[in-house]
Amino acid sequence: MSLRWPFFLAAALFTGCMPTHAEGLEPPPTQVVRVAPVEVAEPVAPLTLQGVTRAADRARLALQVGGRLQERPVRVGDRVERGAVLARLDAAPWRNGVAAQVARVGELDERIAQLDRELGRLQRLEAKGSVVAVERERVQAERDAAASGSAALAVQLAETRRQLAESALHAPFAGVVVAVHAEPGETVAPGVPLIELAGEGVEVAVEVPEAAWVRLGDETPVRVRLPALGVETDGTVTDLAQAGGGRGGLFPVVVAVPPGEHRVAGLTAEVRFAMPVEAGLVAPIRAVVDPTGDAPAVFVVDEGRAHRQPVSLGALRGDAVVVEGVAPGAEVVVAGHAQLLDGQPVEVIRD
């Protein structure tokens, strides 16, 4: 018998007495984890931007004629109705001009009537041969000149009446006086702003990134929150810029806010757009293991055990991310997976 046989027999007996690898390892302990479901993403994603309310209607009002400011019946803070008089110049020069021109037009009209009668008489005499044509032509020329003068004076009269009407400044819309720039007694020049008026409606101007701007339209749902008033309301996109504002691809967008008590210009506003996006599944970002690496994954809980499942990541949706590789409704671990092993038993806490 070879001496190697007792050696192999002893080795076999020793090996048979040793526990196997599986028998020698203790099963991993049950890990307490918190889970959340994988959900079907809504067809819209919120985009919240900050802005400040401003008057929807704004105007710096000036007179088209100059003169001495006789009356300014409004002060800063006054509410006015559409058509209300905001300022009035001393209109005596235009009233006097109108009176003089009306009188002059009356004189010319009377002169034209006299010349018409004279012209008729001369035409009858000319037909009888009692007067030469040159006399009739002289009266006709005088009559035509008077008619031309009357027409020119009528134009001047219309212009003077227009200036008389322009000597009073009227509110083009209902609103609040936010500034005045002249006092009664001062001489004001035409075109120089006298009153600043803000309408009662408000709007919010925000700048939208180009990636969101391309998906916006007049029908895009908008919610506007005014923190100072503690109110939230629907908004309406009223102006969608067709060119960027020149600051890093941002596009101006104007959102109208429905009228309401104390809704004035200058309030902080939060504008939330519901942006249309592609359908898909989303999981909480905190459920993703190695989200920036080459092998992102999630732990899916099934029958009391957590199984590591590789996933593909898409766009962010707030505090969630679009994922592929898991089924809708699957429960994924969002807390307690730092030391979690594939297949480890878990005790589940649900959000």
Q: What is the pLDDT of residue 350?
A: 83
Count of H-run helices and E-run strands, the chain = 5, 23
Q: For residues 121 and 174, what is the distance between their CA atoms, to the nearest angstrom?
A: 62
Place of tokens 């600043």: 196
Q: What is the pLDDT of residue 81?
A: 93
57 φ, ψ (degrees, to nearest 5): -110, 125
pTM of the full predicted structure?
A: 0.55
Q: For residues 83 and 351, what is the distance between their CA atoms, to the nearest angstrom?
A: 60
Q: What is the pLDDT of residue 200?
A: 79
Nearest to 220 by CA among 256, 244, 265: 256
Q: For residues 313 and 164, what is the distance between their CA atoms, to the nearest angstrom?
A: 72
Q: For residues 299 and 319, what is the distance between their CA atoms, to the nearest angstrom?
A: 18
3-state secondary structure of 77: coil
Q: H or E element: which one contains 83?
A: none
What parts of the chain have a pLDDT lower than 70?
Answer: 1-26, 45, 218-219, 243-248, 261-262, 277-278, 351
Q: For residues 288 and 306, what is the distance between their CA atoms, to the nearest angstrom?
A: 13
Q: With beta carbons less than 8 A apart as the criterion, state whether 148 and 108 touch.
A: no
Q: What is the pLDDT of residue 317?
A: 78
Tokens of 336: 């307690």
Residue 77 φ/ψ region, left for φ over 0, alpha for ψ in the -120 to 50 degree band, beta for the rest: left
Q: What is the pLDDT of residue 15?
A: 40
Nearest to 47 by CA among 274, 317, 249, 211: 274
Q: In 63-201, where do the E strands start and end?
A: 67-71, 79-80, 85-89, 168-170, 175-180, 187-188, 193-199
Q: What is the pLDDT of residue 212?
A: 77
Alpha-carbon separation of residue 136 from 110, 120, 129 (angstroms): 19, 9, 12
Q: For residues 51 and 225, what is the distance between their CA atoms, to the nearest angstrom?
A: 10
Q: What is the pLDDT of residue 247?
A: 60
Q: What is the pLDDT of residue 351?
A: 66
Tokens of 341: 């092993």
Alpha-carbon separation of residue 343 from 20, 25, 31, 323 (angstroms): 21, 15, 11, 21
Sorted by sequence, the CB contacts under 8 Å of residue 113 that are 6+ apart come out as none
Q: What is the pLDDT of residue 278?
A: 67
- Angle at CA of residue 240, ends 171 and 264, nearest 5°: 40
For the chain, the average pLDDT equals 84
User: Beta strand 231-240 with 250-257: parallel, antiparallel or unpaired?
Assistant: antiparallel
Q: What is the pLDDT of residue 188?
A: 94
